[in-house]
Amino acid sequence: MDFSLRDRRVASGALLGAMLVLAGCQSGNNALEGAGRDTVRESELRAYCPSVQLREGTAYFSTYQGKAKDDPSKLVYQASISEVTRACTYGEGTVTMNVAVAGRIVPGPAGKAGTITMPIRIAVVQGSDVLYSKLHRYPVSVTDTAGATQFFFNDPAVTIPTPSQRNLVIFAGYDEGPYDTP
């Protein structure tokens, strides 16, 4: 297919126009701005936000009928965590993290519709020091006993002093308690 000189000029003009529009989106004040959004500064993009990890043995949680632990015919449900993430916001001398967990619940042979309470712990550690730890009782409504129920949990108020080193770890996972422990 041959392009005429006119077609090439139109295509070149369109490309040049797109480049000018994109160049106009750049800002000299090192901030990203979007319609209806707050300004995000370069320093915020480069700020330290610790990673979230699942501790060994905390990605799965099973509940059995009565005291029939490990009897597959008495399994009420099994829950799993598939994704963890976080977002950090810095204030005067503090960092606040919104830690999120996504997972699913699969009913077992003894499962039935209703509300299940998920024991989800969020903890922030620095070496051997625990800076934050909270065990949440998160209710999830299970209506389909033949399939999986997806859930999403977040703790938006994980606040600690601004770290002087980049050596924090956020842990998220199931914890059977007791609930009165840090």
Query: Taking a C-beta distance cutoff of 8 angstroms, is the pair 52, 170 a contact?
Result: yes
Place of tokens 């770290």: 163
Q: Which pLDDT score, from 0 to 100, does residue 147 have?
A: 84
Q: Residue 163: which of 50, 53, 45 has the closest Cα? A: 50
Instruction: Looking at the structure, tell me whether residues 32 and 106 fall in a common domain.
Output: no
Instruction: Looking at the structure, tell me whether residues 89 and 124 fall in a common domain.
Output: yes
Instruction: Looking at the structure, tell me whether residues 58 and 97 fall in a common domain.
Output: yes
Q: Is the pLDDT of residue 19 over 70?
A: no
Tell me, yes or no, whether 104 lies in a domain: yes
Q: Which pLDDT score, from 0 to 100, does residue 177 have?
A: 72
Instruction: Looking at the structure, tell me whether residues 69 and 10 fall in a common domain.
Output: no
Q: Is the pLDDT of residue 15 over 80?
A: no
Q: Which pLDDT score, from 0 to 100, does residue 73 have?
A: 92
CATH number for the domain including 157?
2.60.40
The parent domain of residue 20 ranges over: 1-43
Instruction: Looking at the structure, tell me whether residues 76 and 105 fall in a common domain.
Output: yes
Tell me, yes or no, whether 179 lies in a domain: no
Residue 151 is inside which H or E element, if any?
A: strand 149-161
Confidence of residue 67 (pLDDT cuts 50, 70, 90): confident
pTM, to two decimals: 0.72
- Count structural domains, the chain: 2
More confident residue, 14 or 92: 92
Tell me, yes or no, whether 56 lies in a domain: yes
Instruction: Looking at the structure, tell me whether residues 39 and 51 fall in a common domain.
Output: no
Confidence of residue 26 (pLDDT cuts 50, 70, 90): very low
Instruction: Looking at the structure, tell me whether residues 26 and 100 fall in a common domain.
Output: no
Per-residue pLDDT, averaged over 112-133, amounts to: 93
Tell me, yes or no, whether 100 lies in a domain: yes
Tens-place pLDDT, residues 71-117: 889 999 999 999 999 999 988 899 999 999 999 999 999 999 999 99
Instruction: Mention every residue, 6+ apart, whose C-beta is less than 8 A from residue 141.
Output: 114, 115, 116, 149
Q: Residue 145: which of 76, 81, 66 has the closest Cα? A: 76
Instruction: Looking at the structure, tell me whether residues 112 and 163 fall in a common domain.
Output: yes
